[in-house]
Structure 1
Amino acid sequence: MSLATFVDLTFTGLVVGSIYGLFALGYTLVYGVLRLINFAHSEVFMWGSFAAVWVMLLFNARQGMPLPAAIGLLLVALLAAMLVSGGIALVLERVAYRRLREKNAPPLVALISAIGASFVLAELMGLRDRIAGWLGLDGVLAEFVRQARQNAPFVNPLPSVPLFEVAGYTVRSTQLIVLVAALLMMLALDQFVRRSRLGRGVRAVSQDPEAAALMGVNKDRVIQLTFLLGGLMAGAAALLYLMHIPVTRFNVGFVLGIKAFTAAVLGGIGNIRGALLGGLVLGLAENYGSNLFGSSWKDVVSFVLLIVVLLFRPTGLLGESLGKARA
């Protein structure tokens, strides 16, 4: 392996891994508070990706736009993706989980509800053309609902220009934006949970729900906040993913959701910093593995790594739970 190839694999692995880590925050936050694996989080990501695509369609985005307009349009797409994903996450908590929580349903029931909600959200997006037809809106929304079960391209108005070279590998602007933005968002969330009053409430409920309630913490609001934060991060991850791979579809969250869940477990599920570490390690392992064994072994290498880590360290690489995080 040449030095240029190594730098290429490392940098692109970090870019993809940062997206995995940002996506994984939703899994790790919900598990840290509720001890629930929210498998429908993958569809929260998927809905955010379509929100970004629709913003570009609505504003007739094209490559080669003036730089200020391109940046503004990407910020609008980011806001739309985060709001849609956050809203879907709140609806998910209200419809799929809250009643079960109030009835003290067994964890298996909540898991089945999560899987069912995942299929419902995916199929709603995959059948959006038929739903628009039933409502008589297929003509008005034709551009947004046509070929509902096919790939939906994302038009990135921001040009990807070469910035600098490292050992013969050229780093491009889009790659650097994705990596830096993902790291900054994860850092911001980590500091919010550790230092803000609302974040202390999240950690209190995660550590001891009964004691937190006695201290005046509203558990239901904390749980809603947890789903909202995870949804917002998933929406941000969706836009960054589209900037790196400019296409989405109704079932895009399935494999990506498994990868993000793997990243959360790898770093230590329930640990915000663990999600970042797990995502970066997973992204690097995928790239190095695909180079050594071939691209068809990419997913195999990722999950073998997960198995090895869990065999020797079942709590993940960091292992510290959300409730034990220090301020």
Structure 2
Amino acid sequence: MSLSSFLQHLVNALSLGGIYALIAIGYTMVYGILRLINFAHGDVFTYGIYFAFYGVSIFLMPWWISFMFSIFLTAFLGAFIEKVAYRPLRNAPRISALITAIGVSFFLENFAIVAFGGRAKSFNPQTGIYPNSFLRMLQIGKVRLPILTLITLGITAISLFILIWIVYRTKIGMAMRAISKDIPTTRLMGVNADRVISFTFMIGSGLAAIGGILWAMKYPQIYPFTGMIPGLKAFIAAVVGGIGSIQGAMIGGFILGISEIMIVAFIPSLAGYRDAFAYAILLFVLLVKPTGILGVEVSEKV
């Protein structure tokens, strides 16, 4: 493999890993605060794409306004799910919340079939969803890079930077970190825990919408189960990196993206087993370091 081909594959791997990281952060933030695996997160990812699609195709918004509208609407969808489905079970046994998360996932998938239709829809410039210029190639020496791939990397980097700034440089971020350690004590300090938890769901869902739009631009097709496989892989990325750790989710996402692209690039005959590598990495990490790369042991509350 030539150096130019290697660089092209590496950039593609980083862009895919960035999308996984954006989705994985939603899983890890919710788990870090509530010790809950939000299995509906992949479906929230799907709704973000649908909101962007219909914003352009039905409401005739400019693509950039539609994309921004989708991110905010998906964020509020996440907060609504938390308030209706998870908040009433805050003090219930953990298995009840887990079953509810699975139920919410099934509901969102089937509601999408009814509301949006079961047939796949095209998410590409030919349908006017975003400009044709995004599909152009940029020549850097012998390396030809799709502009869309560079846009994906840029948006991912900006999104992750803003997230880190919110979590570690703002009062709401301080409250989120406090709640992840001890909710009752944080309430005694005068923090509105319900509001902070809702905000956490909003951030995670908004990042899922960004990841969903970037995913649909990379793989231009949308249907009610679009988020199932990306959501599952993002969950694997969160576990690999150490679920509950934002930095771990980032690392896990990039590890998954790089491994998927580079293994197929070096050994094309294994392209059909691309998804299997994600599960193999998960099994290896669980056997060697069950808490993940940056994860820490958490004692179960009795």
- Normalising by the residue count of structure 1, what TM-score does the alignment of the two structures yield? 0.84
1:53-68 aligned at under 5 Å gives the runs: 53-58=53-58
Tell me which of 129, 136, 140 is aligned to 1:165.
Answer: 140
| Residue matched to 2:248 | 274
Deviation at 1:320, TM superposition (A): 5.7
| Residue matched to 1:318 | 294
1:160-199 aligned at under 5 Å gives the runs: 160-165=135-140, 168-199=142-173
What's the secondary structure of 1:250's corresponding residue?
coil
Looking at structure 2, the residues matched to 239 and 182 of structure 1 have their Cα atoms a distance apart, in angstroms, of: 12
| Residue matched to 1:79 | 68
Tell me which of 79, 99, 113 is aligned to 1:90.
Answer: 79
Q: Tell which deviates more after alignment, 183-192 or 80-89.
A: 80-89
Looking at structure 2, the residues matched to 270 and 17 of structure 1 have their Cα atoms a distance apart, in angstroms, of: 18
Deviation by residue 1:218-252 (Cα, 9 ceiling, x = unmatched): 11111111111111111111111122222111001
Deviation at 1:207, TM superposition (A): 1.1
2:130 pairs with 1:154: no
Looking at structure 1, the residues matched to 14 and 208 of structure 2 have their Cα atoms a distance apart, in angstroms, of: 18
What percent identity do the matched residue pairs reach? 37
Tell me which of 109, 112, 129 is aligned to 1:125.
Answer: 112
Q: Tell which deviates more after alignment, 211-220 or 45-54.
A: 211-220
2:209 pairs with 1:235: yes
Contact 1:84–1:235 at 8 Å: present in 2 too?
no
Tell me which of 299, 303, 308 is aligned to 2:279.
Answer: 303
Looking at structure 2, the residues matched to 256 and 84 of structure 1 have their Cα atoms a distance apart, in angstroms, of: 20
C-alpha distance 94-59 of structure 1, shift in aligned 2 (>3 A): closer
Looking at structure 1, the residues matched to 255 and 70 of structure 2 have their Cα atoms a distance apart, in angstroms, of: 26
2:14 pairs with 1:14: yes
Looking at structure 2, the residues matched to 252 and 208 of structure 1 have their Cα atoms a distance apart, in angstroms, of: 36
Deviation at 1:83, TM superposition (A): 1.9
Looking at structure 2, the residues matched to 187 and 318 of structure 1 have their Cα atoms a distance apart, in angstroms, of: 19
Looking at structure 2, the residues matched to 109 and 220 of structure 1 have their Cα atoms a distance apart, in angstroms, of: 19
2:196 pairs with 1:222: yes
What's the secondary structure of 1:149's corresponding residue?
coil
Supply the RMSD in Å over aligned alpha carbons.
1.8
Contact 1:31–1:269 at 8 Å: present in 2 too?
yes
Deviation by residue 1:83-106 (Cα, 9 ceiling, x = unmatched): 2211221121122111111xx221
| Residue matched to 1:106 | 93
Looking at structure 1, the residues matched to 107 and 4 of structure 2 have their Cα atoms a distance apart, in angstroms, of: 45
Structure 2 letter corresponding to 1:126? I
C-alpha distance 172-59 of structure 1, shift in aligned 2 (>3 A): farther
C-alpha distance 319-164 of structure 1, shift in aligned 2 (>3 A): farther
Looking at structure 2, the residues matched to 59 and 114 of structure 1 have their Cα atoms a distance apart, in angstroms, of: 31
Deviation at 1:60, TM superposition (A): 5.5
Tell me which of 197, 220, 234 is aligned to 1:246.
Answer: 220
Structure 1 letter corresponding to 2:157? L
Deviation at 1:282, TM superposition (A): 0.3
| Residue matched to 2:264 | 290
Deviation at 1:310, TM superposition (A): 2.4
Q: Tell which deviates more after alignment, 151-160 or 197-206.
A: 151-160
| Residue matched to 1:64 | none
Deviation at 1:23, TM superposition (A): 1.1
- Normalising by the residue count of structure 2, what TM-score does the alignment of the two structures yield? 0.91
